[in-house]
Chain A
Amino acid sequence: MYKIESKNVDFYYGPSQALKNINIAIRSNTVTALIGPSGCGKSTYLRLFNRMNDLIDDIKIIGQVMIDGEDIYGKGINVDSLRKNVGMVFQKPNPFPKTIFENVAYGLRVNGIKDKKFIEERVETSIKQVVLWDEVKDKLKKSAFELSGGQQQRLCIARALAIQPSVILMDEPTSALDPISTAKVEELIYELKAKYTIVIVTHNMQQAGRVSDRTAFFYLGELVEYDETKKLFTNPKQERTQNYITGRFG
């Protein structure tokens, strides 16, 4: 069974159609990269999986998005619980104006966990998972804004991991980072694959090539090609894909 599956998904912002008939199936414990030029709908598509698009007025979705076989736009779906299962990391590091500890503990607290010891342990494990523990263990009570951009982004990943989701969505997670921080995050993505299903939007095709198992190429709201990353980059079936990955447009 597929972890995530979208069937004939159309998506509209008001009158304009942003996604046209998207069909993708994603297996558990894989990394899937969504690539394409700006405005192609890849971020919109990513945000369907945790219903982040719901924040926007006047949207419409047709078709089905299934996670673990359940239609997440169906009746009786609790959006808050869905988002606990589908974590998200954003383009720019966006820690809360709170301490490092409280940032990671936030997701646990809003889920009603009060046990102090449990929270402390989970915060520590999560920060260790993103290989940030040695850098911040002495300043957990300091503001998260004191960290560097790369550290902040890893903290945001730790924050998402703390509530133990099964899927992690990443929306250009390294676009605001320097090359060294980028390398660290990419390494992390590779390690996280063992436990999570990851979908990542990226502008950087080398990055897609390095971290992903499968890649989907979007263009003007359409899914042009979806295949194993190696195949897509070395031997694309579509001419448009070929043109994009060789840099002829986009």
Chain B
Amino acid sequence: MLSSSITSLTVLLIVVFLFKEGIGLFNQKPVEPGYVIAINKNNKVKELSSVQLKNIYDQKITHWSEVGGTHDSIVLFQLEDISNYYSDEQIGDNMQNLGTCLSRLVDSLPNIIAFFPDKYLDKKFQGTLLEVDKVSLADFFAGKEWIPSAKPSAQLGVLPLILGTLWVSLGAILLALPLGLAAAVYMSEIANERVRRIMKPLIELLAGIPSVVYGFFGLVIIVPLIQKTFDLPVGETGLAGSIVLGIMALPTIITISEDAMRNTPRAMKEASLALGASRWQTIYKVIIPYSISGISAGAILGIGRAIGETMAVLMVTGNAAVIPHTILAPVRTIPATIAAELGETSNGGLHYKALFALGCILFLITLFINLTVEFISNRQKHNKN
């Protein structure tokens, strides 16, 4: 009683903490705190989105007209560029005149956009400080770029990560399901008792191997193999992740579907065989339909394992946060992102909260998967009443 309440409480606290930190992201602006983005007072532009800012600084947007201003080209300015405009003497030995220089510069160049710390903001500054929107749900979920360290504005689009996760997991399940099902059929219906007694513990052992070992195996064997086979510049691809995850999901799929198949009543099998059905006809016409709930539960739990898996994927998928177009491109998954980036973030910062928000997404996905399994196995019990 006590231990179960402690467990539930812990789980609850973790979830609350996860969501508290994650939801905090949407109260923040993507621009680093303490910095301002300034433009000339005559510029009509009042607002820029995070993506527009990034494109301006990447020089993909080069004219103010593209963001609602005049037909002039944009002059980019970052703090380092100050020496192009003012000499060291003008700025002063201890940069005591930097603020004045900055405001003079912004006020004199009509097409400038300047990104600098707000402590250098001069009292006499007459230009406009641009408003940047808070991180919105739409930007977060539909954004196509994940560059949390981008300056001046972090890009927090999780679409490539979600797609990367689903892509790798889908590949894993497509590989593991036929193989796992075949192994389960073999173990439950074809292998004799002696073979089964050896195979079953071996397969269960497969579930106990640490994931970093799988990752190592993938990195050393599968990645070079893929690189060679498909003649790629790098072998660290979604496919490599799918193969490694597929192998990791196999024990779950095999054990659960095999149990389900062995639960098929003997009477059903005998009825089918007694009607002259062959062993294979009996397997796919009676045993598989009868145990389909168990098989789906196994497959879904396998997917669940694949989606949440971190280490092995981190090691073999190449971790490029771009939307994957083929299985032979590097991808990055949600868990790998969290594991790789959390160490670099400042506690409570934008990036930190963005990673927690990713954690929330992952949590919701796996929660959904577990509920599905629950639903399916309840239905199974109901069917067998």
Chain A residues with CB under 8 Å of chain B are 50, 52, 55, 57, 80-81, 83-84, 87-88, 90, 92, 94-97, 106-107, 109-111, 156, 159-160, 163
Contact = CB atoms under 8 A, between A and B. Distances in A.
Interface stretch (B172-180, B276-284, B313-321): B276-284
Nearest to B266: A55
Contacts of A81: 276
Contacts of A156: 271
A111 B276 contact: yes
Contacts, number: 64
Contact of B274 (A57, A87, A109, A111): A87
Interface in B176-194: 192-193
A94 B271 contact: yes
Nearest to A165: B276
Contacts of A96: 268, 271-272, 286
Contact of B275 (A55, A57, A110): A110
Contacts of B277: 80, 106-107, 110
B374 interface: no
14 contacts: A57-B193, A80-B277, A83-B274, A84-B275, A84-B276, A87-B275, A88-B274, A90-B267, A94-B267, A96-B272, A97-B289, A106-B275, A109-B285, A110-B276
Interface in B186-217: 192-193
Interface of B: 192-193, 265, 267-278, 281, 285-286, 289-290, 383
Nearest to A92: B267
A80 B192 CA distance: 20
A90 B274 CA distance: 10
Most B Cβ at <10 Å: residue of A57, A92, A95, A106:
A106
B376 to A, nearest CB: 16
A159 B276 CA distance: 12
A55 B276 contact: no
A110 B290 CA distance: 17
B285 A50 contact: no
Given A90-B267, A92-B267, A55 B273 contact: yes
Contacts of B281: 110
Given A57-B193, A80-B277, A90-B267, A97 B272 contact: no
A81 B59 CA distance: 77
Nearest to A98: B289
Given A92-B267, A96-B268, A97-B289, A57 B192 contact: yes
A88 B285 CA distance: 19
Contacts of A57: 192-193
Nearest to A81: B276
A80 B278 CA distance: 6
Contacts of B285: 106, 109-110
A55 B270 contact: yes
Nearest to B267: A94
B318 to A, nearest CB: 47
A83 B286 CA distance: 17
Q: Which of B267, B269, B271, B285 has the most CB of A within 10 A?
A: B271
A110 B272 contact: yes
Nearest to A82: B276
A50 B192 CA distance: 21
Contacts of B271: 90, 94-96, 156, 159
B273 A52 contact: yes
Contacts of A107: 275-277
A213 B264 CA distance: 37
A94 B193 contact: no
Closest 4 CB pairs of A and B: A84-B276, A107-B275, A94-B267, A110-B277
B200 to A, nearest CB: 16
Contacts of B275: 83-84, 87, 106-107, 110, 159-160, 163
A231 to B, nearest CB: 32
B35 to A, nearest CB: 66
Given A55-B270, A83-B274, 13 more contacts: A52-B274, A55-B273, A80-B277, A92-B267, A97-B290, A106-B275, A106-B285, A109-B285, A110-B278, A110-B285, A111-B276, A159-B275, A163-B275
B383 A97 contact: yes
Given A57-B193, A110-B281, A94 B268 contact: yes
- Choose among A52, A92, A107, A110 the residue with the greatest number of B CB atoms under 10 Å from its CB: A110
A162 to B, nearest CB: 8
A172 to B, nearest CB: 13
A159 B273 CA distance: 12
Nearest to B273: A83
B290 A50 contact: no
